């Protein structure tokens, strides 16, 4: 029998996450013959709206509706999923802050394999799935073989599969709440309290038209001056990658990425940024991207429009001087 | 509080450009600079700060070959009280589950209130903490970016979610947490610090000491196996500007002007 595939769908404010339709594509590529169902957990009207919307794309939608899931705590959800998932199935979730919380432990509780952060699938042979992953921040790719014969939990990198927009499933919503709650509410050892919003900074980089963004390649806090000088010459704002914020060189509000801001400038200059998917995930609206990096194989060059292989500490001041000279 | 921190020795990507060897079986390992996984440093720093606030001890553990001892020692130089190396030929080729299995055996030999890992390491998997928690049947929280000890039974943690917002949770001890970068500022370790701990004995535990059946770990126990390394065929990719620096700058400024990149 073909193993059924389940996609766990995240949503917010009654709207499914972008990854909902990417997981559908991923599931079909994983195994074109498998039945594919969605699982959505939450509570109230927002949940119903999402289930109905998702049923246009997935033939079957499993709904788990409980007040305790008004904010979905992975510890609670994991306990519920273990109760309702059929043995040997394949579970997909996005490799994001939620998937990273849920999936590894879930695989263990299901006694299934765990394949984290898959970016592509290349077929199943003798119960083994061939998949593509990346290592070292995207500097190299690998093929892996994952023994899925006893089931698997797989997190899929957001953005690596195109969304399936066909919406032709005409699916049905099944309420699985009773089964999920059998034996009471699980996961009580971790209790959700509240979400504390990130600090607001003095510039709102989500509104910037031109961003000069700096990464770990800047090496030293004192060198940030060459970045702000370039930004000033260009009439741009300064943004950055995560390590710059971790080092407390710039404020959190200037961080671009999945755990920072989502920006949509016209022009994005990436200086000494390697191009991890968490960073790139924060750049939307297809800006013109210029990457300057001393490593010619840095992943940022895969998504940039224009690349310059050079040391930013040498190149950037010269660029700034030239722009200032032209502007007079 | 008794705290165990799991650390890994990895090629330092800020010091090396990672290249694949000729037959694609591994990365080129000659001349690689290794260091402790970036995320683990934050985990050790956090553990040390907790200990300094509420008492207890910090133990650092690593699964690896004899070279992994150097990162255990480095983290001891940061201020960890004890170090343990888990090493055995049988551990080679372990997948994430295998590593979690090995660590679980070590956790069960002690009496820990809190086990910390880094949020992820060089393979970007972020799996060991979650598996370890599930195996121990302890609660788990990933991507922890704030931590506050409430009392000897509970702590309050903030998980960093989308947009840098913090999801606050109360979690019962014992528990496993994976630590995200930025939670603190890891202290600097100089040569002198390393020298101070140079002669401290770091016990090595193998499969036998841990009561692990060799088949459950290593290559044979692995459900996920890497078969090769490769460089992906790129799509369009960036147009790389060539020429002298002056020529490149001239071209770049032209492009920037055309795209509205200079105001
Ligand atoms: C859950 C999670 C969420 C995350 N969220 C984010 C996020 O929101 N935003 C984010 O940015 N990251 C995020 N990260 C971190 C991410 O995985 C990377 O670690 C990070 O983006 C790397 O930043 P970087 O490119 O500046 O540094 P590195 O990856 O270290 O790259 C530095 C680059 O600079 C180049 N370089 C070095 N010196 C020079 C020089 N002198 N001249 C030119 N080039 C030079 C190097 O070749 C290298 O390519 C997240 C990670 C996790 C696990």
**Residue A149 token pair:** 């014969």
Query: Which atom in ligand 1 lies closest to the alpha carbon of residue A259?
Result: 8
Superfamily of domain A205-327: TPP-binding domain (3.40.50.1220)
Domain boundaries, chain A: 5-180, 205-327
| Nearest-5° Cα angle at A219, B166 to B241 | 105
Cα(A151)–Cα(A113) distance, integer angstroms: 6
**Partners of residue A127 in chain B, C-beta under 8 Å:** none
Cα(B159)–Cα(B179) distance, integer angstroms: 9
Asked if residues B227 and B95 have their Cβ atoms less than 8 Å apart, the reply is: no
End-to-end C-alpha distance for chain B, whole angstroms: 56
Paired sense of beta strands B140-149 and B154-160, if any: antiparallel
End-to-end C-alpha distance for chain A, whole angstroms: 73
Which strand (E) or helix (H) includes residue A54? Answer: helix A44-54
Query: Which atom in ligand 1 lies closest to the alpha carbon of residue A275?
Result: 25
- CATH 3.40.50.620 for domain A5-180: yes
Residues of chain B with confidence (pLDDT) below 70: 234-235
φ, ψ of residue B49 to 5 degrees: the values are -65, -40
**Can you give the pLDDT at residue B234?**
67
**Residue B123 token pair:** 């393979």
Report ipTM (2 d.p.): 0.96
Determine the residue of chain B that is closest to A268 in CA distance: B261
Starting at the edge strand found earlier in the chain, the sheet holding A128-135 runs A120-125, A128-135, A140-147, B224-230
**Can you give the pLDDT at residue B197?**
95
CB atoms within 10 A of CB B156: 15
Asked if residues B34 and B10 have their Cβ atoms less than 8 Å apart, the reply is: yes
Q: At what angle do helices B245-258 and A312-327 cross, to 10 degrees?
A: 60
**Partners of residue A114 in chain B, C-beta under 8 Å:** 96-97, 127, 131, 223-224
**Can you give the pLDDT at residue B145?**
98
3-state helix, strand, coil in chain A (%, to 5): 35, 30, 35
Superfamily of domain B2-221: HUPs (3.40.50.620)
Cα(B211)–Cα(B222) distance, integer angstroms: 18
Q: Whose CA is nearest to atom 3 of ligand 1?
A: A259
Q: Tell me if residue B97 falls in helix, strand or coil.
A: helix
Cα(B125)–Cα(B96) distance, integer angstroms: 8
Identical topology for domains A5-180 and A205-327: yes
- Residue-wise pLDDT tens digits, A47-75: 999 999 999 999 999 999 999 999 999 99
What distance in Å separates residue B199's CA from the closest CA in chain A?
32
Which residue in A143, A141, A103, A107 sits closest to A123, CA to CA?
A143
Matching residue, tokens 């199935």: A89
Query: Which atom in ligand 1 lies closest to the alpha carbon of residue A219?
Result: 38
Asked if residues A174 and A61 have their Cβ atoms less than 8 Å apart, the reply is: yes
Is residue B142 lining ligand 1, measured as CB closer than 6 Å? no
Q: Given A192, A198, A303, which is nearest B163 (Cβ)?
A: A198
Q: Give the single-character DSSP code of B30.
A: T
What distance in Å separates residue A168's CA from the closest CA in chain B?
30
The tens-digit pLDDT sequence of chain A (328 residues) is 699 999 999 999 999 999 999 999 999 999 999 999 999 999 999 999 999 999 999 999 999 999 999 999 999 999 999 999 999 999 999 999 999 999 999 999 999 999 999 999 999 999 999 999 999 999 999 999 999 999 999 999 999 999 999 999 999 999 999 999 999 999 999 999 999 999 899 999 999 999 999 999 999 999 999 999 999 999 999 999 999 999 999 999 999 999 999 999 999 999 999 999 999 999 999 999 999 999 998 999 999 999 999 999 999 999 999 999 998 8
Cα(B49)–Cα(B43) distance, integer angstroms: 10
- The number of C-beta contacts closer than 8 angstroms across A and B is 266
Which residue in A170, A159, A113, A187 sits closest to B169, CA to CA?
A187
Starting at the edge strand found earlier in the chain, the sheet holding A5-9 runs A113-118, A152-156, A90-94, A5-9, A36-42, A60-65, A172-175
What distance in Å separates residue B204's CA from the closest CA in chain A?
27
How many residues belong to chain B?
Answer: 263
- Residue-wise pLDDT tens digits, B186-235: 999 999 999 999 999 999 999 999 999 999 999 999 999 999 999 877 66
CB contact under 8 A, B226 and A143: yes
Question: Does the predicted model carry a pTM greater than 0.90?
Answer: yes
Alpha helices for A170-253 (secondary structure H):
177-181, 224-234, 242-246
**Partners of residue A125 in chain B, C-beta under 8 Å:** none
Torsion angle, CA of B191/B193/B194/B196, rounded to 10 degrees?
120
Cα(A161)–Cα(A207) distance, integer angstroms: 28
Is residue A294 lining ligand 1, measured as CB closer than 6 Å? yes
Domain boundaries, chain B: 2-221, 233-263
């Amino acid at each position: 029998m073909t193993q059924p595939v389940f996609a766990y769908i995240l949503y917010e404010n009654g709207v499914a996450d972008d990854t909902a339709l990417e997981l559908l594509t991923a599931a079909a590529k994983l195994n074109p013959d498998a039945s594919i169902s969605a699982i959505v957990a939450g509570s109230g009207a927002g949940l119903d709206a999402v289930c109905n919307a998702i049923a246009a794309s997935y033939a079957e939608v499993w709904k788990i509706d409980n007040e305790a899931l008004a904010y979905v705590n992975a510890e609670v959800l994991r306990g519920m999923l273990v109760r309702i998932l059929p043995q040997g199935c394949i579970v997909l979730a996005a490799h994001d802050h939620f998937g990273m919380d849920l999936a590894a432990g879930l695989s263990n509780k299901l006694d299934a394999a765990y394949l984290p952060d898959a970016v592509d699938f290349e077929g199943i042979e003798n119960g083994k799935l061939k998949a593509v992953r990346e290592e070292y921040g995207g500097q190299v790719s690998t093929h892996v073989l994952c023994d899925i014969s006893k089931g698997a939990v797989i997190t899929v990198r957001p953005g690596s599969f195109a969304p399936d927009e066909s919406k032709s499933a005409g699916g049905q919503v099944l309420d699985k709440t009773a089964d999920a709650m059998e034996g009471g509410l699980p996961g009580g050892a971790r209790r959700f309290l509240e979400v504390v919003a990130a600090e607001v900074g003095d510039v709102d980089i989500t509104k910037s038209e031109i961003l000069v963004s700096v990464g770990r390649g800047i090496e030293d806090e004192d060198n940030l001056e060459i970045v702000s000088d370039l930004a000033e010459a260009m009439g741009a704002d300064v943004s950055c990658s995560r390590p710059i914020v971790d080092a407390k060189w710039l404020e959190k509000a200037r961080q671009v990425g999945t755990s920072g801001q989502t920006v949509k400038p016209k022009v994005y200059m990436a200086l000494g940024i390697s191009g991890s998917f968490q960073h790139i995930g924060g750049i939307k609206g297809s800006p013109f991207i210029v990457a300057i990096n001393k490593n010619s194989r840095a992943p940022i060059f895969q998504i940039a429009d224009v690349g310059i292989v050079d040391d930013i500490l040498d190149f950037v001041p010269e660029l700034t001087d030239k722009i200032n000279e032209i502007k007079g | 509080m008794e705290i165990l921190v799991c650390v890994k020795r990895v090629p330092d990507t800020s010091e090396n450009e990672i290249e694949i060897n000729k037959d694609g079986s591994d990365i080129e390992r000659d001349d690689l600079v290794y260091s402790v996984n970036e995320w683990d440093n934050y985990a050790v720093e956090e553990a040390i700060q907790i200990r300094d606030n509420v008492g207890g001890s910090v133990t650092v553990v690593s699964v690896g070959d004899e070279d992994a001892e150097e990162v255990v020692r480095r983290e001891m130089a940061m201020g960890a009280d004890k170090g343990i190396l888990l090493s055995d030929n049988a551990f080679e080729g372990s997948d994430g589950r295998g590593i979690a299995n090995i660590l679980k055996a070590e956790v069960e030999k002690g009496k820990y209130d809190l086990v910390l890992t880094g949020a992820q390491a060089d393979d970007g998997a972020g799996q060991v903490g979650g598996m370890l928690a599930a195996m121990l049947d302890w609660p788990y929280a990933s991507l922890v970016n704030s931590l506050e000890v409430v009392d000897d039974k509970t702590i309050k943690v903030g998980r960093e979610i989308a947009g840098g917002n913090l999801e606050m949770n109360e979690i019962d001890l014992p528990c496993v947490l994976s630590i995200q970068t930025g939670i603190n500022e890891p202290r600097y370790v100089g040569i002198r610090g390393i020298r101070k701990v140079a002669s401290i004995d770091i016990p090595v535990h193998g499969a036998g000491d841990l009561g692990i059946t060799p088949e459950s770990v290593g290559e044979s126990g692995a459900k996920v196996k890497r078969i090769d390394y490769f460089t992906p065929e790129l799509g369009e990719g960036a147009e790389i500007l060539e020429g002298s620096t002056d020529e490149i700058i001239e071209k770049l400024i032209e492009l920037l002007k055309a795209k509205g990149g200079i105001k």
